[in-house]
Amino acid sequence: MNIRHPLAAVLGVAGIVIGGIAAMVSPATAADNELTGTVTFSCQVSTFTPYDWSPTLTLSALRPEGSDQVTVSATMSQMAGVSPVPLTEAPFTNDLALSIGGAAVHAKGSGTVSAEGRAPFTMPSMVSLPFTSSAATLPVTVTGFSFEVTEGVTLPGTCAPTGGAALGTLTLATGTPPTPAPTPTPTPTPTPTTTTSATATPSASSSPSPAAANAKPAKGTVDFACVLNPLGSEFDYPATISVAGYRAKAGDDVSLAATMSDLPGISPVPIDGQMDVTLALTVGGTKTTLKGSTHAVAAPKAKVPVPTLTGSVAADEDELEVKVTDFTFNFAALSIDATCKTSAVALSTMVVGSEPIETNGTTPEASSATTTTESGGTLPQTGGGDSLPVVGLWALALTLLGVAGILCVPQARRKH
């Protein structure tokens, strides 16, 4: 994610929350106590390359008649950058940290943004919780700025002031202050939950079909708590899983084949690339790993099929308890992967068959470690015969284009 772009006006915004601030402050009063200045920030989004940004800030402060409770409103000029993908009502929050007369004040805003790729991006207005002051004027210093935008994954950004932080003196006016925005609630770390369902049944098109009449796959649902790397973004994957097994003759290892329901469809960009998947199980008390791979093809926001996973385990019993612990997927060519954890979730008991398992036209052998299937079909091609670009899952276009989330380096930086 390292391509630099000029400081074009960035992304158009829709649905900004904190509405009504302008309506709540009379134009005459607001104009009398506005403080405007330009601050230079050094910003970084997630693990991407830092960039410089110099927005114009406008502050105003109001307190009710006879009160010493001061509320600060703030706006900032457009964010530097270009989104390589469209944003559709993407949640956005921002937090401007200030020191006002020595008091630590945070002005916060939240809303949603919708825009075509590389369209202008205006941020939500911000408003603080009240702080106490009876002074007529107060010096203002900017101490920091942070934000988050969510389009499939949540991308956090932090900005530290490197110039112009001392904005000047803010005049406190008398009037009815706006209502502070609700404090954004941090997204908690997903807690793995154990959900056992012996009757859960995958779709008929993806379920293993043991040839032996006495064979019975282990089935159930598992709620995975996943982390997408290198972004460190969290998401949930409620998976329906079926695991079937057979052995050719007594004493042989048990060949296993597993199917899983589709991955969540939250990618804002097309997917067209190699995906490797791994499922960690305990079968009959023995740990084992099933693997599969596929050339994953999916349209934006479409679910992503998971290929059949195969492997084997040493076991003599005909009825085996199956527990699921971990699942991973990996786009190796793009250095993108996800790890999904859960407590050891027990599926229904698996009855081992005596004939090979037939799944999607393939017959895994006892020694099989991986299987490759094609999923998703072919996406339409664009002009000139060029197919849609190879991208990964959940904002991989951001990685390939070298931008910091939805941001780019402003024009002043580009000239160096």
Res 37: pLDDT: 95
Q: Please say whether the beta carbons of 106 and 182 come within 8 A.
A: no
| Cβ neighbours of residue 210 closer than 8 Å, sequence gap 6 or more | 216, 217, 244, 246, 353, 355, 357, 358
Three-state SS sequence of the chain: CCCCCCCCCCECCCCECCCCHHHHCCHHHHHHCCEEEECEEEEEECCCCCEEECCEEEEEEEECCCCCEEEEEEEECCCCCCCCCCEEEEEEEEEEEEEECCEEEEEEEEEEEEECCCCCECCCCEEECCEECCCCEEEEEEEEEEEEEEECEEEEEEEEEEECCEEEEEEEEECCCCCCCCCCCCCCCCCCECCCCCCCCCCCCCCCEECCCCCECEEEEEEEEEEEECCCEEEEEEEEEEEEEECCCCCCCEEEEEEECCECCCCCCCEEEEEEEEEEEEECCEEEEEEEEEEEEECCCCCECCCCEEEEECCCCCEECEEEEEEEEEEHHHCEEEEEEEEEEECCCEECECCCEEECCECCCCCCCCCEEEECCCCCCCHHHCCCCCCCCCCHHHHHHCCECCECCCHHHHCC
Q: What are phi and psi of 313, to 5 degrees?
A: -150, 145
- In this prediction, residues 328-348 reach a mean pLDDT of 85
Res 84: pLDDT: 56
pTM above 0.85, yes or no: no
Residue 17, Cα to own-chain centre: how many angstroms? 21
Res 231: pLDDT: 74
Name the region of 170 (left: φ>0; alpha: ψ -120 to 50; beta: rest).
beta
Res 16: pLDDT: 33
Q: What is the mean pLDDT of the chain?
A: 73
- In this prediction, residues 130-147 reach a mean pLDDT of 94
CA-to-CA distance for 113 and 56, rounded, in angstroms? Answer: 20
Res 102: pLDDT: 92
Res 135: pLDDT: 94
Q: Given pLDDT bands bounded at 50, 70 and 90, which one contains residue 44? A: confident
Which of 53-62, 105-114, 391-400 ranks highest by mean pLDDT?
53-62
pLDDT digits (tens, 9 = 90+) for 270-286: 777 888 999 999 999 99
pLDDT digits (tens, 9 = 90+) for 300-310: 778 889 999 99
274/198: higher pLDDT = 274
CA-to-CA distance for 282 and 289, rounded, in angstroms? Answer: 8
User: Which residue from 123, 157, 121, 126 is spatially nearest to 42, judged by alpha carbons?
Assistant: 157
Domains present along the chain, CATH in parentheses: 21-174 (no CATH), 209-379 (2.60.40)
296/386: higher pLDDT = 296
- In this prediction, residues 16-38 reach a mean pLDDT of 53
Is the confidence at residue 383, as pLDDT, over 60? no
- In this prediction, residues 405-412 reach a mean pLDDT of 39
Q: What residues pair up with 69 in beta bridges, in sequence order?
A: 132
Which of 20-29, 377-386, 391-400 ranks highest by mean pLDDT?
391-400
Q: Given pLDDT bands bounded at 50, 70 and 90, which one contains residue 79? A: confident
Res 87: pLDDT: 67
pLDDT digits (tens, 9 = 90+) for 220-253: 999 999 988 877 778 899 999 999 998 888 888 9
Res 410: pLDDT: 41
Res 285: pLDDT: 92
Is the confidence at residue 348, as pLDDT, over 80? yes
CA-to-CA distance for 61 and 74, rounded, in angstroms? Answer: 9
Is the confidence at residue 53, as pLDDT, over 60? yes
User: Which residue from 109, 188, 152 is spatially nearest to 303, judged by alpha carbons?
Assistant: 152
Res 397: pLDDT: 42
11/320: higher pLDDT = 320
Query: Percent of the chain, pLDDT > 70?
Result: 65
Is the confidence at residue 347, as pLDDT, over 70? yes
**Which range (4-8, 175-179, 195-199, 254-258) has the least confidence?**
4-8
- In this prediction, residues 43-64 reach a mean pLDDT of 87
37/366: higher pLDDT = 37
Res 215: pLDDT: 82
Res 99: pLDDT: 96
Res 371: pLDDT: 36
Is the confidence at residue 169, as pLDDT, over 50? yes
Res 268: pLDDT: 67
Q: Given pLDDT bands bounded at 50, 70 and 90, which one contains residue 359? A: low
Is the confidence at residue 389, as pLDDT, over 70? no
